[in-house]
Structure 1
Amino acid sequence: GEGDCFIAAGVETVSRYASGASDIAPNAIFKPSGERTKARAAGGQGVWSAAAGLADMYIAMGQTAENVRELEGVTRLEMDAFGARSQQRAVANQENGFFDREISPLTLPNGTVISKDDGPRAGTTAEGLAGLKPVFRPDGEITAGNACPLNDGAAAVVVMSDTKAKQLGIKPLARIVSSGVSGLNPEIMGLGPIEACRQALKRAGMTIDQIDLVEINEAFAAQVIPSAKHLGIPMEKLNIHGGAIALGHPFGMTGARIMTTLINGLQHTDKRFGLESMCVGGGQGMAMIIERL
């Protein structure tokens, strides 16, 4: 942090990775926890609870979502409704030009111009999503319709001290008020935003009622829904322009993308304070409060 100006950028090309590919072999010490996850993935294991010994560090994200769904009692109906909401709002805000303000068009070598995300699906309904089969467990409820897709993408933000901004004559879009980071069992990593947001709010001396807009990354509806409930976030403030279930979650760029959308949203609605948060595979949550300037 010893500097005055930083560019924080993330690029993700998940489409280039072979399914299930990994750069490292799992540590054998986690074999018992991996066997527990394997048994749960087969179905019929009941509601998740923390087991003795090490947690499964290598657990697939879809399995963590099923664990959270069981633990928090999130229903298939709730998840499909949330997934449909994300799609419908993303499509509507593509059509009204909201996302045009935060996307830099890219021209391909063949002359094709890419100027919008290709994830949002027009005409998506909760009734339609209800017909999709579970992906991760035979008795599961996480589907392609209530989880984020795999996407490529890139995003960047510039972080600068107020002193440097004044020297350069730059008017900032927003200022960082506070941030928070949480750690939790990786088998329920989707609940990471809860404590991270509480920490950020405490450091800011604020309550959730003072936050105007909230962006929680939609890795899975199963984790966004209980996170919002625990924090007391009303739906009219949460991901109001659609989220990752529609737009996608390119892992390396999502943090910057959500921040960009949050600032865009605060400008568009003429609001002041925003809260961004996301869960992190491996058992973390991150959050940041910003003030529009």
Structure 2
Amino acid sequence: MRDAVIVDAVRTPVGKGKPGGALSGVHPADLSAHVLKALAERNGLDPATVDDVVWGCVSQVGEQTACIGRYAVLAAGWPESVPGLTIDRQCGSSQQAVHQAAAGVISGQYDIAVAGGVESMSRVPMGSSFAGGSYGAPYGPLVAERYHHHFFNQGTGAEMIAAEYGLSRAQLDQHALDSHARAARAIDEGRFKSQIAPVTVTDAEGNSRIFDTDEGVRRGGTLEQLAQLKTPFQADGVVSAGNASQVSDGAAALLVTTSEIAAANGWTPIARFHTGTVVGADPITMLKGPIPATEKVLRRSGLTLDQFGAFEVNEAFAPVTLAWLSATGADYDLLNPNGGALALGHPLGASGARLMTTLLHHMRDHGIRYGLQTMCEGGGMANATVLELI
């Protein structure tokens, strides 16, 4: 029986996804190439031995179109014989990329694969692929009719989830403050150093510097400050920019192979890909998928929640993670212990790989046997992954 193990995982620091953000001057193909090259250099990987590069990206338009997974390979200077694949499962695109790489390795279609993803939201703004389209253009008239012409909006969905689970503005804002505090502590204690591949960037004045620290983390915030922010999705709502994920730029990559091939190459894997699954959920609230995804992956893995020492649940909006906590009864202290997307940012197509990179290094650093990752996805879907420390 072939297995799938993750040898290493690396990411860029996450930049603010706006003009002037640290990574805004880097083409997304080049940003992808940066982590591909870092992964190869860290592990003595001969790129010619890679059977496929499976790459997540959400806004596949403009600079991120035409199979950016392929152009990432070429930008990295890897042999032309190495193919690339681009996946869109919305925010879970690069988590799904890991699932497909693992499936390919287990089935024997691949011996060595690289999975990951990228998003440059400063250069390819969120929703730009829909620009100029009429109402319902991404969904078509049959979907619009099925859901009674309801407007699909993640922010509105987050408001609906907050109402369903009785989550107050103060609870959401406190969750955001906790995320920033955890991320700041992780930075101060050097927890991200082993996973980050620093990027040399050039500012508008032509000055070069090394960018090596996640850019979106804020320190010293208060509930009083966050309470002043508007709630754009609902006039009397609870979801604001302060308790929603940040638009961001970033990339991440993971090296996936079998235990036998890893040993033959002298690699010591971090973890085994234990179980992966995906579910569909209500596309109107859209963001509750991590709850049934967790239930499904626990059934398939044969594990119980109390066997896990860490959870990475994407903080797309604060109601998503707090609803997941309420539904599962998980320990809040084990959720996103190094901060989440509320603080670190959410570079859409890279986020699944970024979360998994952070989870893997945290598991190794703290001797945690089982880790679980799940994230909500546009259209009402969610992936869930169980990793087992080696």
Same fold (TM over 0.5): yes
Deviations along 1:141-182, one digit per CA (max 9) or x if unpaired, are: 111111001001111111111121122121101001111211
Indicate the residue corresponding to 1:178 in structure 2: 275
Deviation at 1:249, TM superposition (A): 0.5
Indicate the residue corresponding to 1:61 in structure 2: 154
How does 1:184-199 map onto structure 2 within 5 Å?
A: 184-199=281-296
1:205 pairs with 2:205:
no
Deviation at 1:270, TM superposition (A): 2.2
Indicate the residue corresponding to 1:139 in structure 2: 236
* Letter in structure 2 aligned against 1:119: G
Indicate the residue corresponding to 2:225 in structure 1: 128
- Structure-2 change in CA distance of 1:122 and 1:200 (3 Å): same
1:88 pairs with 2:181:
yes
* Letter in structure 2 aligned against 1:21: S
Deviation at 1:231, TM superposition (A): 1.3
Find 1:104's aligned residue among 187, 192, 197: 197
* Letter in structure 1 aligned against 2:141: I
Deviation at 1:58, TM superposition (A): 6.2
CA contact (8 A) 1:57 1:186 kept: no
Indicate the residue corresponding to 1:29 in structure 2: 141
State the SS of the aligned residue for 2:193.
helix
1:3 pairs with 2:110:
yes
Find 2:258's aligned residue among 158, 161, 174: 161
Counterpart Cα distance in 1 of 2:387 and 2:376? 18
Deviation at 1:131, TM superposition (A): 2.0
Deviation at 1:77, TM superposition (A): 1.4
- Structure-2 change in CA distance of 1:30 and 1:247 (3 Å): farther
Deviations along 1:233-266, one digit per CA (max 9) or x if unpaired, are: 1111111111000000000100110011111111
- Structure-2 change in CA distance of 1:56 and 1:200 (3 Å): farther
Deviation at 1:17, TM superposition (A): 3.0
- Structure-2 change in CA distance of 1:140 and 1:30 (3 Å): farther
1:222 pairs with 2:334:
no
Counterpart Cα distance in 1 of 2:122 and 2:116? 19
How does 1:236-247 map onto structure 2 within 5 Å?
A: 236-247=333-344
1:273 pairs with 2:370:
yes
State the SS of the aligned residue for 1:194.
helix
Find 2:332's aligned residue among 235, 250, 265: 235
Deviation at 1:225, TM superposition (A): 0.3
Deviations along 1:109-134, one digit per CA (max 9) or x if unpaired, are: 54211001100001122332122221
* Letter in structure 1 aligned against 2:158: A
- Structure-2 change in CA distance of 1:144 and 1:30 (3 Å): farther
CA contact (8 A) 1:107 1:113 kept: yes
Counterpart Cα distance in 2 of 1:18 and 1:155? 19
* Letter in structure 2 aligned against 1:191: K
* Letter in structure 1 aligned against 2:115: A
Indicate the residue corresponding to 1:49 in structure 2: none
Counterpart Cα distance in 1 of 2:149 and 2:189? 44
State the SS of the aligned residue for 1:180.
strand
State the SS of the aligned residue for 1:279.
strand
CA contact (8 A) 2:154 2:285 kept: no
> After alignment, is 283-292 or 181-190 more displaced?
181-190
Indicate the residue corresponding to 2:122 in structure 1: 15
Indicate the residue corresponding to 1:151 in structure 2: 248
Deviation at 1:19, TM superposition (A): 6.3
Counterpart Cα distance in 1 of 2:258 and 2:180? 37
CA contact (8 A) 2:250 2:350 kept: yes
Deviation at 1:90, TM superposition (A): 0.6
Q: Name the TM-score, length of structure 1 as normaliser.
A: 0.88
Question: Unpaired segments of 5 or more residues in structure 1?
Answer: 34-52
State the SS of the aligned residue for 1:145.
helix
CA contact (8 A) 2:172 2:319 kept: yes
Deviation at 1:57, TM superposition (A): 8.3
State the SS of the aligned residue for 2:362.
helix
> After alignment, is 75-84 or 262-271 more displaced?
262-271
CA contact (8 A) 2:313 2:374 kept: yes
Aligned-residue CA RMSD in angstroms?
1.9
CA contact (8 A) 1:83 1:126 kept: no
Deviation at 1:64, TM superposition (A): 1.5
CA contact (8 A) 2:144 2:150 kept: no
- Structure-2 change in CA distance of 1:166 and 1:268 (3 Å): closer
* Letter in structure 2 aligned against 1:200: V
Identity %: 37
Indicate the residue corresponding to 1:264 in structure 2: 361
